[in-house]
Structure 1
Amino acid sequence: MLRVELRDRIAVLTLDRPGQLNALGSRTMEELTQALDDVRDNDDVRALVLTGAGRAFSAGADIGEIESCTTPGQFRAFVGRLTETFALLEDFPKPSVAAVHGFAFGGGLELALACDLRVAERGTRLGLPEMKLGVLPGAGGTQRLPRLVPPAIAKQMILTGEPIDAERARELGLVNELAEPGTALAAAEALAGTLAAGAPLALAAGKRLIDYGLGMDLEAAIAYERETVSVLFSTEDRVEGLKAFRDRRPGEFRGV
């Protein structure tokens, strides 16, 4: 269901249900949650990459599991499992990059939205087609998408259910980088490698400042920023960073 590989300070998490187009079900969510728990305190892991095996990133939530829900309460529990796992990923202290190819629909796009950054191959399609099934995205799509693209664009995607291609997603800021066909994973690993070279405490703090600061008024957010960088000033990594700058070499950060 989920394959985990460690490569030079990067944990590569691969959705591994190619025959089902990497549909997301309860078991996959359990394995993703466990993988996040396993690498959270692993000092050898500095960044995450999420990708999908086969011809697509993910077709979305497991339709078979959805059809097995016979009451709104059962469906709420299923959606809750997705939502909780995506929230763990979004709040994870180490930066994450989604490597998207083929298509990312429904819950698959919602999973990519929970990552910090997204790399997509040219021609990839991204969409939230739930409207065509008489429902709506239920694992963060209606909330995370309009925080990344203009609200009118998010409304169009959600209310029509029509996808956009990676090139358009890049123009809108939904995708950070475009990759040539067959190279999304390599491009995502390169980007994750750049992230992994940073100071771990500063990386985690940067994520918090941006994510939490967006929910504050500007004055409070700037005060939060000031306190955060003051704490970072006391770290050994800050001392190493300045020394490395003077020595004209990459910093060797240890997260202390």
Structure 2
Amino acid sequence: MLRVELRDRIAVLTLDRPRQLNAVGSETVERLTRALGELRDNDDVRALVVAGAGRAFSAGADLGEIESFTSPGQFRAFVGRLTEAYALLEDFPKPSVAAVHGFAFGGGLELALACDLRVAERGTRLGLPEMKLGVLPGAGGTQRLPRLLPTAVAKQMILTGDPLDATRAWELGLVNELAEPGGALAAAEELAARLAAGAPLALAAGKRLVDHGLGMDLDAAIAYERETVTVLFSTEDRAEGLKAFRERRPGEFRGV
């Protein structure tokens, strides 16, 4: 359901239901939640990559499981667990990169949206097709997508259910980097390695500043930034960063 591998300070979380096109069901959600909890305080992990096995990143939520629900309450509980897992990923203190290939639809795209950055292979399709099933995205899609795309583009995707091609998604800023077919995972790991080379405290603080600052007025956000960088000034990593710069070498950051 979910495979976790540690590769030189990077944790690679792979959706591993290729026959089901990596549809996200309750078991996958449970394993994702557990993995994020275990990795959160693992000092050997500096960045995450989220990927999918087989020919696609994810077809979305597990429709077979959803069709078995007999009441709106069961569906609400499922969506609640899914939303909570994606929120844990979004709030994870270490940066995350989605490696997207084939297609990422519905709950699969919502998973990628919960990551900090996205790498996609050329030809990949990204969409929220729920409207075509008479419903809407329920795990953050209607809220995260307009924060990453022009509002009119996000509305069109949500209200028509039509997907974007990866190249167009890159042009609009939804995708950070394009990879050639078959190269999304390697490109995502390379990007994650660049992130993992940074100072852990500064990485976590940078995520907080962007994510939380967007919900503040500008003056309050700048004050928040000032207080945050003042705290970072007193860290050993800041001293190491300056020393490494003067010695023209990469910094050896320890997260202290």
TM interval, short-chain normalised = over 0.9
CA distance in 2, matches of 1:77, 1:193: 36
Which residue number corresponds to residue 219 of structure 2?
219
Residue in 2 aligned with 1:49? 49
Q: What is the correspondence of 1:123-142 to structure 2 with a 5 Å cutoff?
A: 123-142=123-142
Q: Which residue does 1:161 correspond to in 2?
A: 161
In the alignment, the residues of structure 2 paired with residue 213 and residue 5 of structure 1 have an alpha-carbon distance, to the nearest angstrom, of: 32
Q: Which whole-Å deviations, capped at 9, do the CAs of 1:145-185 have from their partners, x for residues lacking one?
A: 00000110000000000001000000110000000000000
Query: What residue number does 2:98 align with?
Result: 98
**What does 1:1-40 correspond to in 2, within 5 Å?**
1-40=1-40
Alignment of 1:61-140 (within 5 A): 61-140=61-140
Deviations 1:221-242 (A, max 9, x none): 0000000000000000000000
Render the CA deviation track for 1:5-36: whole Å, top value 9, x for unaligned. Answer: 00010000000000000000010011011111
Gaps of 5+ in 1: none
SS in structure 2 of the partner of residue 11 of structure 1:
strand
User: How many angstroms apart in 2 are the aligned matches of 1:81 and 1:168?
Assistant: 31
Matches within 5 A, 1:232-243: 232-243=232-243
Question: Are residues 1:183 and 2:183 paired?
Answer: yes
Give the partner amino acid of 2:216: M
In 2, Cα distance between equivalents of 1:71 and 1:151:
33
What is the distance in 1 between the residues matched to 2:131 and 2:70? 20
Compute the RMSD of aligned alpha carbons.
Answer: 0.4
Q: How far, CA to CA, are the matches of 2:80 and 2:33 in structure 1?
A: 13
3-state SS of the aligned residue for 1:50? strand
In 2, Cα distance between the equivalents of 1:41 and 1:239? 23
Q: Tell me by how many angstroms 1:83 deviates.
A: 0.2
**CA apart distance, 1:38:** 1.2
Structure 1: 4+ residue segments shifted above 6 A: none
Residues in 1 aligned to 2:173 and 2:103: alpha-carbon distance in whole angstroms: 17
Q: Sequence identity, in percent?
A: 87
Question: TM-score, normalized by length of structure 1?
Answer: 1.00
Distance 1:162 1:152 in 2: 13
Match of 1:132, SS?
helix
CA distance in structure 1 between the partners assigned to 2:166 and 2:8 by the alignment: 28
C-alpha distance in structure 1 between counterparts of 2:79 and 2:86, whole Å? 11
**In structure 1, how many angstroms separate the alpha carbons of the residues matched to 2:228 and 2:68?**
47
The whole-number CA distance in structure 2 between the counterparts of 1:84 and 1:68 is 21
Quote the offset at 1:62 in angstroms. Answer: 0.2
Whole-angstrom CA distance in 1 between matches of 2:35 and 2:175: 25
AA at the equivalent of 2:156: Q
- CA offsets, 1:93-126, max 9 Å, x none? 0000000000000000000000000000000000
What is the deviation of 1:244? 0.2
Deviation (angstroms), 1:191: 0.1
Q: Which moved more, 1:30-39 or 1:46-55?
A: 30-39
SS in structure 2 opposite 1:253?
A: coil
Find the residue that maps to 2:149 and give its secondary structure. coil
Q: Which residue of 2 aligns with 1:253?
A: 253
Which is further off, 124-133 or 30-39? 30-39
The letter for the 1-side match of 2:36 is: L
SS in 2 for 1:75: helix
TM-score by length of 2: 1.00
How far, CA to CA, are the matches of 2:136 and 2:2 in structure 1?
26
**Cα shift at 1:207:** 0.1
Deviation at 1:70, TM superposition (A): 1.5
CA shift for structure 1 position 73: 1.1
